[in-house]
Amino acid sequence: MILVDSSVWVDYFRAADTPQVALLDSLLGRMPIAVGDLIAAEVLQGVRDDRQYTWVKKTLDLFEHVDLVGYALAVRASEHDRVLRAKGITIRKTIDTLIAARCIEDGLTLLHADRDFDPFVEHLGLRTAYSET
């Protein structure tokens, strides 16, 4: 299953011409695609128009949904953060640490366009569907 990050969904809904959007388009209907709860919140919070909000929500509703956080995963994410900080790497957003931790723990592949995930790939074994950011 591929978990799609908000960095890709935002570009997808804006019809941006990016390699990640092209890959998402090619995977639709061929691979199981998932939307995380926190990712849905990020995407939907960015939609300003009511009509577009309804369309985006209906689209996200079509995919499998993944609950990204619980107490145990929050603790695991903090451990991942500590490992990276010990290597001199600071992740800019806690939510990215939580997303990466869920993917690592559950063996999900992440489709993203956010450089903050690169250290998780390099040092913690995060699998990604597209590696150039």
Can you give the pLDDT at residue 73? Answer: 97
* Domain 2-128 fold: Rossmann fold (3.40.50)
Domain spans in the chain, listed from the N-terminal domain onward: 2-128
Q: 12 with 121: CB under 8 angstroms?
A: no
How many Cα atoms sit within 13 Å of 94 on the Cβ side? 7
- CA 96 to chain CA centroid, Å, is 7
Can you give the pLDDT at residue 133? Answer: 44
Q: 65 with 125: CB under 8 angstroms?
A: no
Spell out the per-residue pLDDT of the chain, length 133, in tens: 999 999 999 999 999 999 999 999 999 999 999 999 999 999 999 999 999 999 999 999 999 999 999 999 999 999 999 999 999 999 999 999 999 999 999 999 999 999 999 999 999 999 999 755 4
